[in-house]
Structure 1
């Protein structure tokens, strides 16, 4: 998986390869596919993969269940980053306002 690639994009590529292999007559179990995919995900998903391994029977997990679980991590990260941008913008606007009020006060003192 590439750093810029989403979980959905990566899983689409994997399923494409899996389907091509199956067309050639090779039998791939869901367990084998999940195991191969698990080692291919980026390190940023390691915490979620570890928690899945602790809480679920990985021999019974399907690729779609794994992908859905990892997409949640990706979505939460995107929401956090968006929220951080909003908060940062608000802080910048607040600092500008404070600076403007300070300038107005200095101007009043100068005129007095």
Structure 2
């Protein structure tokens, strides 16, 4: 996953690759895909990956459940970053 890429765009690329593999007759196991996705995530998702692995959620998670989980984290991260930036700008305006 590229640093500037959204979770939705990344999963779109992954699903395209999975579909290409399946059209070639390969058997694609969801668990293996989930493991590879978790390995390929950038640094900003490291703590989320740790939580998923510690919860043993990886055994049961589908690709789409993982996508939802990561999208929720991404939205929360964007919201938090926006709030921090607004606070910083507000403090700059005071001074």
TM-score (norm: length of structure 1) = 0.77
CA distance in 1, matches of 2:4, 2:39: 17
Note the C-alpha offset of 1:57: 3.4
Greater RCO (CA < 8 Å, at least 6 residues apart): 2
CA RMSD of aligned residues (A): 1.3
User: Which residue number in structure 1 is paired with residue 43 of structure 2?
Assistant: 43
Note the C-alpha offset of 1:8: 1.0
Note the C-alpha offset of 1:46: 1.3
Runs of 4 or more off by more than 3 Å in structure 1? Answer: none
* Unpaired segments ≥5 residues, structure 2: none
CA distance in 2, matches of 1:51, 1:3: 20
* Unpaired segments ≥5 residues, structure 1: 96-112
TM-score (norm: length of structure 2) = 0.90
